Amino acid sequence: MPKLDAVSRRKFIAVGGGTSLAAFLAACGGGGDTTTMVTNTGQESEPAESGKGSETEQFGKGDIGILNYALTLEYLEAAFYKDVVKSGLFKGEELAVLKKFGAEEQQHVEALSGTVKKLGGKPAPMPKAEFPLKSAKSVAELAGTVENLGAAAYLGQAGNIKSPEVLAAALSIHSVEARHAATLNTLLKLSITPDGAFGKPADVATVLKSVEPFIVG
């Protein structure tokens, strides 16, 4: 094997770091995606109609509904981290972590929003949210709750997603939320695996009920 080409390695690494998910789906939809789960043309991800009444129907049909549900949660997370960073409750390394996570959630927002549009849907609106920011401890606890919930939400929907590309995207976000959750659990000196060796999914009703208190107007 020849010495790895420095340019192509940089490209891989750059691509791995920050390209938007929408660009990823465009690349997959464009040609030659080789996943085996494709049952239709395998080219563009089409907005799939779900046969049964789906939990995420209020957000849209099929995969678009699921993506918009996820988008709503990501909006809330991004807003939360923005408030947290502004609050002045954290500094140093902890602040840096929270800033980074907030930036990632914002990128999730953009990617999900772009994906919904690409699928021909209308992205869910950004909810207006207010978060209690009483103390560093209570905020950290809230962050931990939100991230663990976010991971559970994605896990809960994985089986409902029709398109393999959308599923790949959802899985890639799901594991990042899990990393966030474990980090916050660590900061709080809680178990990194509150559900044990297997993550537990959460259904839409549970998730929405949990975030409802923070949505205003």
Partner 1 sequence: MSEKKLSEVEGLVHPELAGVEVVEESGGDFSRSDVLLKGALAAGAVYGTFMVAPYVRGAFAAAGTSDVDILNFALTLEYLESSFYEEAKKKAKPSGELKALVDLLASDEKQHVEALAGTIKKLGGKPVSEPKFNFEYNGTAEFLKLAETFENTGVSAYNGAGPAIKSKEVLGAAGSIVQVEARHAAAIALQNGQEPSPSTFDAPLDEKQVLKAVEPFIA
Nearer to partner 1, 27 or 215 (CB): 27
Least Å distance between CB 74 and partner 1? 11
CA distance 157 to 32: 26
Nearer to partner 1, 3 or 91 (CB): 3
Q: Pick from 182, 185, 153: which is nearest to 170 by CA?
A: 153
Alpha-carbon distances of 182 from 10, 87, 210, 212, rounded to whole Å: 29, 23, 19, 23
Nearer to partner 1, 61 or 99 (CB): 99
3-state secondary structure of 205: helix
Which residue ranges make up the site for partner 1 (CB under 8 A)? 1, 3-4, 6, 9, 12-13, 15-19, 21, 23-24, 27-28, 32-37, 97, 100-101, 103-104, 107-108, 111, 151, 155, 158-159, 164-165, 167-169, 171-176, 178-183, 185-186, 191-193, 196-201
Output DSSP code: residue 52: S
Nearer to partner 1, 138 or 186 (CB): 186
Least Å distance between CB 65 and partner 1? 17
Q: What are phi and psi of 92, to 5 degrees?
A: 60, -140
